[in-house]
Amino acid sequence: MPVYDIKKTFKYNFEHGPSISSETLPFKIIGQAKYPFWGKKLSSRLGIPAGLLLDSRWIRLYSQLGFDILTYKTVRTRLQTEHPYPNCLLVEATKPWLPGAIPDSVKTSKSYTPITKISMTNSLGVPDLQSPEVWQPDIAISKNYLQPGQMLIVSVVGTAENNHFDSFMQDFVRAAALAAEAGAEVIELNFSCPNSPVEEGHIYEAPEFAAQITRAVRQQVKDLPILIKIGYISEDNRLARLLSAVSKDISGIVGINSLKLRVVDQKGRQALPGADRSKSGISGYALKYLARDFTRRLVALREKEHYDFKIFAVGGILTPQDFQDFLDLGADAALSCTGAMWDPALALKYHLHYSFPALNDPPKKKKAIMKTEFSSNIEHVLKVNNLL
């Protein structure tokens, strides 16, 4: 079962917390802090993007599981409920989609295996079930759970009202200010939610709006690193225009977000109930090659224009090798949402294979690791690396 139960509502997952309790986890992974990120050193360049870490309980769990860059799910300045159930469905993608060959629609699927090939759709609408009075102290709690060598990003979004750009931008600034006040080490501006009203979800496609919001937030949060979360852009010139508009004010780019696509059931009918829900965001395996293509082009543009922002690659990371592939392409960090949701041991497997961290346990406790619900894979990885 995934850590986030897709058969239940978002509210249920929020209220009940992750399906694995961090208190019962028999180990913590603590690496050596060696990767510089804005004045601090991180133990690794692996992390979780906005979406999976609904509050401090999720941050605590995944920080123990070896993910060192942790993003608090997008918050708002006000409460907002999620779209009607269901919010997440598995979808069929036998192969990752290629640039220039993205299908028009995708079918739902019942198959859960193998988890290294899972694709999903999510349609939540960037809900915020906590008001700032609740999420602000929870961010402080989240920070206390971090181990040395870890970093907390807080993702924020402005709430669009009546197509009024100025008030939308002011709300973005307010959300960022509240997150900064709460102790966010890095602020992420969500410019790309595929399930939001047009104004909120497509800012990354409107360079002049993106630049205005980023500039206003920069003035508000001063020296705090600012990231923007963007969706897939297929044309280089459009990507170049966005980068040129925001490059002065940003510290990094996170991408790609889920890809908006028509989702149908096995009979070809709209899969998710309700108006405006014929299309929703696709994540996981289907995105793997699109995200790589995107990272490659982002790295090339950064080099060509001598930009100095960091690149946080996201999309279709479901195996330890996937993390490494993105880092090898030149990304500064690699983050997994769908993969980490279905395989909580993903970072642990990476570390055992690529970074051999000192597990924070004496050898006899390695037996305890094997008692966890993801034991069989762990046992294999430990054996392969002569750690058993």
Ligand X SMILES: Cc1cc2nc3c(=O)[nH]c(=O)nc-3n(C[C@H](O)[C@H](O)[C@H](O)COP(=O)(O)O)c2cc1C
Site string for ligand X, 315-354 (x = CB under 6 A): xxx------------------xxxx---------------
Which one of 229, 292, 349, 351 is in contact with ligand X (CB under 6 A)? 229
Distances (CA, A) of 243 to 213, 237, 287, 299: 14, 10, 22, 12
Which one of 56, 74, 77, 212 is in contact with ligand X (CB under 6 A)? 74
Q: Which residue number, 189 or 369, has a Cβ lying nearer to ligand X?
A: 189
Site for ligand X in 116-135 (CB under 6 A): 120, 122, 124, 126
Site for ligand X in 152-181 (CB under 6 A): 155
The site for ligand X, by CB under 6 A, has a size of 27
Query: By CB under 6 A, which span of 279-287, 326-334, 342-350, 378-386 interacts with ligand X?
Result: 279-287
Alpha carbon of residue 244 to chain centroid: 24
- Pairing outcome for strands 119-122 and 279-284: antiparallel
Q: Which residue number, 227 or 378, has a Cβ lying nearer to ligand X?
A: 227
Query: By CB under 6 A, which span of 135-143, 211-219, 293-301, 314-322 interacts with ligand X?
Result: 314-322
Distances (CA, A) of 263 to 81, 124, 314: 22, 14, 21
Which one of 22, 190, 247, 295 is in contact with ligand X (CB under 6 A)? 190
| Backbone dihedral region for residue 202 (phi beyond 0: left; psi -120 to 50: alpha; all else: beta) | alpha
Least distance (Å) from ligand X to the CB of residue 386?
A: 30
Q: Which residue number, 309 or 323, has a Cβ lying nearer to ligand X?
A: 323
Instruction: Tell me how many degrees the CA angle 287-335-105 measures, rounded to the nearest 5.
Output: 20
Residue number of the CB atom closest to ligand X: 51
Nearest to 254 by CA among 312, 330, 333, 186: 312
Secondary structure class of 98 (helix, strand, coil):
coil
Counting contacts by CB under 6 A, is residue 47 touching ligand X?
Answer: no
**DSSP character string of 30-62:** -----EEETTEEES-SEEE-TTS--SHHHHHHH
The amino acid sitting at 237 is: N
Name the active-site residue from 42, 193, 250, 337: 193
Rounded to 10 deg, the angle between the 132-145 and 165-182 helix axes is: 40
Is 337 among the residues known to form the active site? no
Q: Which residue number, 150 or 258, has a Cβ lying nearer to ligand X?
A: 258
The amino acid sitting at 283 is: S
Q: Which residue number, 60 or 76, has a Cβ lying nearer to ligand X?
A: 76
Q: Which residue number, 345 or 359, has a Cβ lying nearer to ligand X?
A: 345
Site for ligand X in 194-223 (CB under 6 A): none
Secondary structure class of 67 (helix, strand, coil):
coil
**In the chain, how many H helices and how many E strands?**
13, 15
H or E element, residue 139: helix 132-145
Q: Which residue number, 27 or 209, has a Cβ lying nearer to ligand X?
A: 209
For 306, other C-beta atoms within 10 Å of its C-beta total: 7
Q: Which residue number, 57 or 73, has a Cβ lying nearer to ligand X?
A: 73
Which one of 257, 280, 295, 319 is in contact with ligand X (CB under 6 A)? 257
State the residue for tokens 């500064």: 332
Least distance (Å) from ligand X to the CB of residue 366?
A: 29
Secondary structure class of 360 (helix, strand, coil):
coil
Which one of 30, 42, 88, 91 is in contact with ligand X (CB under 6 A)? 88
On whether the CB atoms of residues 323 and 46 are closer than 8 A, the answer is yes
Nearest to 2 by CA among 121, 115, 142: 115
Query: By CB under 6 A, which span of 17-25, 44-52, 106-114, 215-223 interacts with ligand X?
Result: 44-52
Query: By CB under 6 A, which span of 46-54, 62-70, 133-141, 165-173 interacts with ligand X?
Result: 46-54
Residues that bind ligand X (CB under 6 A): 49-51, 73-74, 88, 120, 122, 124, 126, 155, 190, 193, 229, 257-258, 283-284, 287, 314-317, 336-339
Active site residues: 193
